Amino acid sequence: MNNLSSNQLIAAVDFSEYSQTALAFAATLADRLQSKLTVLHVIHDSVASPGYYNRDTSKDELQTIEELAKDRFTEFMDEMRRDHPELEALNDAETLLVSGVPVPRILEVVENINPDMVVMGSLGRTGLAHVLLGSKAERVAQLCPVPVTIVKQKKSENNQIEMESQ
Q: Write out pLDDT tens, residues 142-155.
A: 999 999 999 987 65
The mean pLDDT value for 126-132 works out to 49
- CB of 145 within 8 A of CB of 111? yes
Per DSSP, what are the bridge partners of residue 38?
10, 94
Q: Three-state DSSP class for 42?
A: strand
Share of the chain above pLDDT 90, in %: 57
Q: Report which of residues 34 and 134 the model is more confident about.
A: 34
Q: Three-state DSSP class for 138?
A: helix
Is the per-residue pLDDT at 134 higher than 50?
yes
Q: Three-state DSSP class for 155?
A: strand
The mean pLDDT value for 53-65 works out to 61
Second CATH level (architecture) for the domain 8-47+61-165: 3-Layer(aba) Sandwich (3.40)
pLDDT at 64: 82
- Give the type of residue at 115: P
pLDDT at 136: 86
The residue ranges of every structural domain in the chain are 8-47+61-165
